[in-house]
Amino acid sequence: MDHNYALYKTMLVIRRFEERLLAEFSAGKLAGTTHTYIGQEADAAGIFHHTDPDDVVFSSHRCHGHFLAYGGDPYRLAAELMGKSTGLVGGRGGSQHIQWRNFYSNGIQGGIVPVATGMAMAEKVRRTGKIVLVFIGDGTLGEGAFYESLNIASLWKLPILFVLENNGYAQTTPVEKGVAGSIAGRFSAFGVPIWERDTTDVLQIASAAQEAVGYVRSEIGPGCLLLKTFRFSAHSKGDDPRSPEELARLRAFDPLDLHSPRISAAERAGAESEVSAIIEDAFRRAESDSFPSLDMTTNTQ
């Protein structure tokens, strides 16, 4: 598949999945909460364009986009979000706690970082050639375990790529009010090299990811991919202190709009209809599936 088309389609799958998810919530079809990746699609699409299928991934509360770009099935994710037995973890994990192949997510901010660091050590000891990617947000820089992990990862030269997606907010707190000093400085203090990009252009993110992933895989040590991005939707479903004007201004950074001129109008239309069929099928099948048994002693998967 053409490089530009593949990147566009990955971003479109994420965008349409998340839009549909918000619509399902508004229609009262889903319980709990969710955090969507709308606006940040170029990060996941660009990064997973240059990873290996067996690499290990740790994601956070905002995991759907990472999971879909990793190659996860939208139907199994939709079923998980609906609490169905066909979901990724039998409907028990919901939006933030999913697992499939080497993909793991956990909603406790920073909680995944030491676990990911330990997994990187395991991959190094077993000489598998796999690397670990761990995604965190700007608001997670306040978690102490993150710095302990950076220290160990650097000392022991572990194959882990820290991906920091700085979307400017931790829920409703702007980054300037929560993070002192320089973000890059927090990595360089531990001797971790940084690939920093202030763009939502998927091609630029993909090329930075290719370099960073190559460095980490070469067994020299950990790396950091430091990406500036923008979330267009609320933190979860309705909590957004930003004005309509600010949200409108952000649309200039829409990664799909930036990338779409690189493919033809026919390709754009083709991607739209293919993706819309995938999303429709995912949610329709998930909705008709059954809920797991409430008997906790049985394995529902």
Ligand X SMILES: Cc1ncc(C[n+]2csc(CCOP(=O)(O)OP(=O)(O)O)c2C)c(N)n1
CB-nearer residue toward ligand X: 219 or 239:
239
Site for ligand X in 114-143 (CB under 6 A): 137-140
Nearest approach in angstroms of CB 106 to Mg ion is 16
Q: Report the residue count for the chain.
A: 301
Question: Do residues 167 and 235 lie in contact, with contact meaning Cβ atoms separated by under 8 Å?
Answer: no
Site for ligand X in 36-75 (CB under 6 A): 61-62
Nearest approach in angstroms of CB 169 to ligand X is 5
Q: Which residues 6+ apart lie within 8 Å of 145 measured at CB?
A: 110, 111, 113, 114
Give the count of alpha carbons within 13 A of 226, CB side only.
17
Mask of contacts with ligand X, 162-201, x by CB under 6 A?
A: -----x-xxx------------------------------
CB-nearer residue toward ligand X: 15 or 84:
15
d(C-alpha 264, C-alpha 201), whole Å:
18
- The binder of 59, among ligand X, Mg ion, none, by C-beta within 5 to 8 A per type, is none
CB-nearer residue toward ligand X: 35 or 50:
35
Q: Which residues of this chain interact with Mg ion, rule CB under 5 A?
A: 137-139, 167, 169
Nearest approach in angstroms of CB 140 to ligand X is 4
CB-nearer residue toward Mg ion: 58 or 169:
169
- The binder of 107, among ligand X, Mg ion, none, by C-beta within 5 to 8 A per type, is ligand X
CB-nearer residue toward ligand X: 136 or 282:
136
**Identity at 73, one-letter amino acid code:** D
Mask of contacts with ligand X, 213-252, x by CB under 6 A?
A: ----------------------x-----------------
Q: Which residues 6+ apart lie within 8 Å of 187 measured at CB?
A: 150, 162, 193, 194, 224, 226
CA distance to 93, 222, 295, per residue, from 201 (Å):
32, 24, 48
Nearest approach in angstroms of CB 138 to Mg ion is 4
Nearest approach in angstroms of CB 289 to ligand X is 28
Nearest approach in angstroms of CB 109 to Mg ion is 10
Residue closest to ligand X, measured at CB: 137
Region label for 285, one of left (φ > 0), alpha (ψ between -120 and 50) or beta (otherwise)? alpha
Region label for 71, one of left (φ > 0), alpha (ψ between -120 and 50) or beta (otherwise)? left
Q: Where are the beta strands (DSSP E) in 99-202?
A: 99-100, 103-105, 132-137, 160-166, 169-170, 173-174, 194-197
Characterize 223-232 residue by residue with b for buried, 16 or more Cβ atoms within 10 angstroms of its Cβ, and e for exposed: bbbbbbbbbb
CB-nearer residue toward ligand X: 47 or 263:
47
CB-nearer residue toward ligand X: 170 or 212:
170
Give the helix, strand, coil percentages of the chain, each rounded to 5: 50, 10, 40
Residue closest to Mg ion, measured at CB: 137
**Neighbour tally for 250: CB within 10 Å:** 16
Mask of contacts with ligand X, 89-118, x by CB under 6 A?
A: ------------------xxx---------
CB-nearer residue toward Mg ion: 174 or 270:
174
- 225 by DSSP, 3-state: which? strand
Binding residues vs ligand X (CB under 6 A): 35, 61-62, 107-109, 137-140, 167, 169-171, 235
